[in-house]
A and B are shown apart, each in its own frame.
Chain A
Amino acid sequence: MQFMLLFSRQGKLRLQKWYVPLSDKEKKKITRELVQTVLARKPKMCSFLEWRDLKIVYKRYASLYFCCAIEDQDNELITLEIIHRYVELLDKYFGSVCELDIIFNFEKAYFILDEFLLGGEAQETSKKNVLKAIEQADLLQENIDFQMRLFAGTVGEVNIAVVVDQ
């Protein structure tokens, strides 16, 4: 996979992950062109696009478009399922995910993506394992928060902190 873009129906970029080294200028140009092309397509149309020498696989979930660029010999259908699996992971993590979750916690969305895809290849396809890895890191965060509050003597705040963090 060459890159993955998440953007809204209004064409606002929500997440971008590039697996090939490109200059910022190129990235911007590609993003602009692709967002335009994909948004112009009608709902019943094919989820695959030939674009330059790449193949674009995209899918819309509610107000959010997920869009991946793959090479010609790659399997389009499995890429569609990669998108789907990523959505499932987000859903599980955030609990019925919506666009706002991704906007306000985009760094979490990146962490999940990095556990799932690494260097453009599917790293771990088992949903359980991906979430386990994320939760372990998050648990650490709670741990520290808890310990810090313990030391500061403000135990009452722990609950709030955990709630906010989740």
Chain B
Amino acid sequence: MSDVVEKTLTALPSLLSLDSQPGSAKLSSTSKLGNLIRGITELTSKHEEEKLIQRELSSIKEQVSSPNTTMRQMKELMVRTIYCEMLGYEASFSYIHAIKLAQQGTVLEKRVGYLAVSLFLNESHELLLLLVNTVLKDLQSTNLIEVCMALTVVSQMFPKDMIPAILPLVEEKLNHPKEIIRRKAVLALYKFYLIAPNQVQHIHNKFRKALCDKDPGVMTASLHIYLQLIQENPEGYKDLTASFVTILKQVVGGKLPMDFNYHSVPAPWLQIQLLRILSLLGKNDQSTSEIMHEVLDESLRRAEMNHNITYAILYECVKCIYTIHPKSDLLEKAAKCIGNFVLSPKINLKYLGLKALTYVVQQDPKLALQHQMTIIECLDHPDLIIKRETLELLFRITNAQNVTVIVEKMLEFLRISGDDHTTIDLVGKVAELAEKYAPDNEWFIETMNTVFSVGGDMMQPDIPNSFLKLLSEGFDSVEEDRKLRLFAVNSYISLLQGTPGKLPQRFLQVISWVLGEYSHLREDLEAAVVLRLLARLLDMKNCSSETKSWVLTAMTKLCEGGSGVSVAQQVSETYSSSLDTVLRQRAQELQYLSQDSELRARVLPRGAGLEPVEVDSSLSFLDGFVSEALAAGAAPYKPPHQRQEELAGTKALSLEPYGLSLPISMSSCSITDRQSPTLLSMSSGLSGDSTDLSHKGGSATLKLDGVKRVWGREGYLSQKEPVEEPAQVEVPSPLRSPSQQGEADSSHSQTPTPTPTPESDQEKQQLASSLFVGLGSQSSVCLMGKSEPTAQRFRRKAKGHSTASSPSEQISNSVVSPHSAVDNLLCNNLLDSNITSELALSSPELTSQPSPGLTTTNGTCDTEAELPDSDIKESEPAVIRDNSVVATDPAPHEAPDRPKDLCLTSHLPAELSGLSHSEISHLCTNQSLELSACHVQKEDSLLLVVFITNSSDSAAQQILVQVDSEELEVSCVCDSPVEEVSSHSVTVCQYSLTVKRPAVHIEVVGMVSYQLANGTSQSAQFSYKLPLTSFIRPLTVSTEEYGTMWLAFSHDTKQNLTLISDSQEPLTATLNVLKRKLQLHVVEIIGMEGIVACRVLQDQPCLMHCRVHAGTLAVWLRSPIPDLPDCLIYHCQRALQGH
């Protein structure tokens, strides 16, 4: 205490001189606040209160800014200001004075000053910078109380960038003799870790020291940090498991001082913290889990007193037991424990019981069965919170058989709940369940109707989007698609005929789209009727302009026939003068297209919603504009990432305070590595703004399908699983009574089932049987998602899963596959080439064979049929891609031509026979002539070889072959042009190709004309596609040359690519793949960076800079040619994907 006295004595003279009548000041201060409070309570209206407080605040304002106000008075004023702020009146004028008080006051005034600062400001407030100096001073104070206050304020808020200024002082405090200081220092470091983790990275070993502190309080404080650290990286702290277990053992065993007991339970906060840490460490880790089994058992055993705090520990214990690697007897005890919660008459415990059930039901669905009657009671509980939690539980156990009942319960809840957050969440869940398990079309459409009407405009936008996508992509059966769409049309027509004014905007948008696209399916319905219904929507007052443009687009699709056109004309007239430009645009479109049905058929072909739209990601159509702007003196465009990088390079602001060395804030440096995603493909789609991914990410639910059932009551199940799988086909009949289920259940698990009380009414039992159907002991596996697909009615087509990338997929394959052919043919071995091409041919045929038979079974709940079926769907894209690549890939229908290819190869000019050439593909046939072509890669050129086969008996004369391409420069290599092909012979033309303008794939178009022997002239057109990769050649440069070239090139692109991580050196492995597949030249690899160069024939260089960053390959391409980097990155992507 001597420190304190010394400090106060030094402070005394100044105090005395300022305040002549200390005693009276003290008394009046109390009364001033008291007066204020009493004054407020006497008031009757809010208005009067406002007036009083404003008066009070202006008087405070006057006093705080007066130079004569002492710190002592300031302290009192500050207390009153805090009070006014709490009542909701702003007093920002006082913030600076709060800081001043903390700075200049004596210990007591400081205390109030710090309190006011911590209440007024938050950590992003700029005034907080002014506090840094004060904190720094107080941390160095000899007065313990001042140090405590400084640490307290620092643990609550501190400017992130200033942490380095005080970090050494805080670290020093970890060795302080007083435990309260050590404890607060640990918590301050915890705060620092939360706001700027990399600032405290270097003191992790000090955290360990804190963990071993002899004072339990300090050790407990350090657990906050460890919980956070382990949450982020459980692998890094496995070695501490034994220590945590030991600590928990000691705590549970009552080894801590009595002070730490709470209602005679030893340190419950500490226990819970440790249990949370252990569950993180033991998750998916058998050996670590085994270390903790014993102590968990003991924790369960010791927590037997009937008090909230024991239940808190038990709850955490149960969660831990179900999270870590399972042990059967522990699970049994935990299950029993959950039973105690669920059956407790205390509502809080019941709630937690439901929550625990929701947590464990994925692993142990039988538990839900055991408590089914309680669950049903909770479903009708007057407290909405209990009801809500029960629905959450039911959501987890939904399957195809109970979906209707559960969804009905959810919708019921939605109608009574007024809370937006709940509505949004629940609507998403209903939509998910409906999509997954809908038993039939009517139910699905009706449920979605309710979702749209209840969810209104609050719901996640991906719900309507994915619904429309589902409708438009359809399923495997055309007939089913038609029925579903027709049902939707019918349902919407009747909705529009009712009172559409009540429907939310989103729903109206969905309705307009569906009607525009599918109302033609209903034959008895005239388009004009639909048009009139839609036109009515436009007249509604609450119709937003976004909805209106959906409606107008739908009308554009429908306007045909006499009366339809007149409605359309009328509407378009009204809106063509609208102030909204989008609406005006739509109205104009409607006007023109309604008049010109031919144009309309071309612009809006029926059922073409799924055609991939090609997007020019390089925006090459803007090139002219850009070059004009550059010529006019505009600065060249720099992509954001480049600007960021340059900015980071010249960080101007120095934050170095008070001579302490301060490393540049790491957090601000990390911005530089932002990737620039160049989306090369876009799904066609509806509004195009949502993909499957966003849907999955949007609904924050645990995804059950695909989750492997690793364990259950019996222990680890991984070996048993395949054996159990077939057994689940038998689905318990919905009529099975709950008691029967109970029997089956109890025979399986030893825990007693609560027998339903005799008086529990019939209704509840029925509900139970409909809710818990499909949860029987045998079909329990079904919850684990394995058999979920069996019930999933609306399963999207395989291509639906990858809509986002499908258009590009199609292009890409045309690019990748010829390459493999090239590789195979490198040795030009005829026999080999034959074998490989036949292999390639046979696989699609084999897989496509069984599909017609199996697709018919889709839509039924046939388990056996489903598994092979899904296999086929996976292979479906393969079939598609082979067909789409007519030019280069051997498609099945070409099979008869095969022997001819063999012959044609032999016609390759002798000088080319040693080089690698592509598959010879058929171009066109006209009467007696047949044209085929292949390309041959020479070192400095690419040759297109055209074979002209004359299979007729007479010769073809005056043959003229013209080859041209937008992207290429074509020159004929032949010495003299071919003029005649005699009967049954083959002639070869060669063309040398060089790239004029790079594109991802390059098309050559051509025409052949000739004269037959009888004098009639003939002509035929053909086209041939080549990937850009055929033109790529390595560019051998030195690192220095590379450097100068890099700086000279202006066009660039940046993207992150997949890193091939299965080898020791991912970078080298990845670059080798690129080198092999794309013929790039690897200039140099230095550490985590590599530089690569190539050229596109003839001489268009492209440089690539690669860096391994966060598990991906950050690639930066530069070239003098505008589109080249974009095209090349595309091929790199494909090459690595195909790997």
Give A contacts to B, CB under 8 Å: 13-19, 21-22, 24, 28, 44-53, 73, 75-78, 80-81, 85, 103-104, 106-107, 110-111, 114, 118-119, 121-129, 133, 136-137, 140-141, 143-145, 147-149, 151-152, 154, 157, 160-161, 164
A48 to B348: give the CA distance in the assembly, Å: 7
A47-B348, A75-B272, A106-B83 in contact; A161/B385 too (CB < 8 A)?
no
Given contacts A143-B5, A144-B12, A152-B22, 19 further A-B contacts (CB under 8 A): A45-B383, A48-B348, A73-B276, A77-B312, A77-B315, A80-B312, A103-B37, A104-B33, A106-B86, A114-B118, A114-B156, A123-B221, A125-B262, A125-B269, A126-B257, A140-B107, A144-B8, A148-B15, A160-B27
The smallest beta-carbon distance between B748 and chain A, in angstroms, is 31
Q: A48, B183: Cβ atoms under 8 Å?
A: no
Q: Is the CB of A161 within 8 A of B23?
A: yes
Say how far A78's CB is from chain B's closest CB, in angstroms: 4
Contact A164 B112 (CB under 8 A): no
Interchain CB contact (< 8 A) of B79 among A16, A52, A107, A126: A107
**How far apart sit A158 and B385, CA to CA, in the bound complex (Å)?**
55
Give every chain B residue within 8 A of A119 (Cβ-Cβ).
Answer: 155-156, 187, 190-191
A103 to B34, CA, bound (A): 9
Task: Give the shortest distance, in Å, between B217 (CB) and chain A (any CB).
Answer: 6
The 10 A-B pairs with the shortest beta carbon distances in the complex, nearest first, are A77-B312, A21-B122, A126-B259, A78-B312, A157-B23, A119-B155, A45-B383, A46-B347, A125-B269, A118-B155
Q: Cβ of B22: which chain A residues have Cβ within 8 Å of it?
A: 145, 148-149, 152
What is the bound-complex CA distance between A152 and B82, given in angstroms?
31
B-side contacts of A107, CB under 8 Å: 79, 82, 112, 115
Write the chain A residue with the least CB distance to B34.
A104
Bound CA–CA A48/B90 (angstroms):
31
Alpha-carbon gap, A81 to B311, bound state (A) = 11
User: Bound state CA distance, A118 and B220, in angstroms?
Assistant: 13
Q: A residues within 8 A CB of B351?
A: 46, 48, 76
Query: Is B835 part of the contact surface with A, judged by Cβ < 8 Å?
Result: no
Q: List 10 A-B contacts (CB under 8 A).
A: A81-B262, A81-B312, A106-B86, A121-B187, A126-B260, A129-B217, A144-B106, A145-B22, A148-B15, A157-B23
Chain B residue nearest to A160 (CB atoms) is B23
Residues of B within 8 A of A73 (CB): 276
Q: Are A164 and B27 in contact (CB under 8 A)?
A: yes
Q: Which B330-357 residues have a C-beta within 8 angstroms of A?
A: 347-348, 350-352
* Those of B309-342 within 8 Å (CB) of chain A: 309, 311-312, 315-316
Residues of A within 8 A of B260 (CB): 125-126
Contact B87 A13 (CB under 8 A): yes
* B311 to A, closest residue via Cβ: A77
Chain A contacts for B119, CB-based, 8 A: 16-17, 110
| Number of interface residues, chain B, beta carbon within 8 A | 79
User: Taking the nearest CB of chain A, how far is it from the CB of B64, in angstroms?
Assistant: 17
Nearest CB in chain A: distance from B324 CB, A: 16
Contact check, A152 vs B16: say whether CB atoms are below 8 A apart. Answer: yes
> Hey, which chain A residues are within 8 Å of B145, CB to CB?
136-137, 140
Query: Cβ of B30 < 8 Å from any Cβ of A?
Result: yes
- Residues from chain A with a CB closer than 8 A to the CB of B270 are 125
Judged by a CB distance under 8 angstroms, whether B1139 is at the interface is no
Query: Which of A52, A111, A149, A154 makes the CB contact (< 8 A) with B111?
Result: A111
In the assembled complex, the Cα of A48 lies from the Cα of B54 at a distance in Å of: 37
Answer whether residue B386 sits at the interface, using C-beta atoms and an 8 A cutoff.
yes
Q: Which residues of A contact B315 (CB under 8 A)?
A: 75, 77
Question: Nearest Cβ in chain A — how far from B651, in angstroms?
Answer: 25
Beta-carbon contact of A77 and B388 below 8 Å: no
- Residue numbers in B under 8 Å from A118 (CB-CB): 152, 155-156, 184, 187
In the complex, the answer to whether B191 meets A143 with C-beta atoms within 8 Å is no
The CA of A123 and the CA of B190, in the complex, are separated in Å by 12
Report chain A residues within 8 Å CB of B86: 13-16, 106
Task: Answer whether A121 and B190 are a contact pair too, CB < 8 Å, given A44-B347, A77-B315.
Answer: yes
* Cα distance A44–B345 in the bound complex, in angstroms: 11
Instruction: Tell me the bound Cα distance from A137 to B143 in angstroms.
Output: 11
| Contact status B183-A123, CB under 8 Å | yes
Residue among B4, B22, B79, B107 having the largest count of chain A Cβ atoms under 10 Å: B22
Q: Decide: A77 near B187, CB < 8 A? Known: A22-B122, A161-B23.
A: no
Q: Known contacts being A143-B5, A164-B26, is A50 close to B312, with CB within 8 Å?
A: no
Taking CB atoms and an 8 Å cut-off, the chain B residues in 357-400 that contact chain A are 382-383, 385-386, 388
Question: A153 → chain B, closest Cβ, in Å?
Answer: 11
Nearest B residue to A32 via CB reads B88
Residues B156 and A81 in contact, CB atoms below 8 Å apart: no
Distance A7 CA – B350 CA, assembled complex (angstroms): 27
- Which A residues lie within 8 Å of B348 (CB)? 46-48, 76-77, 80
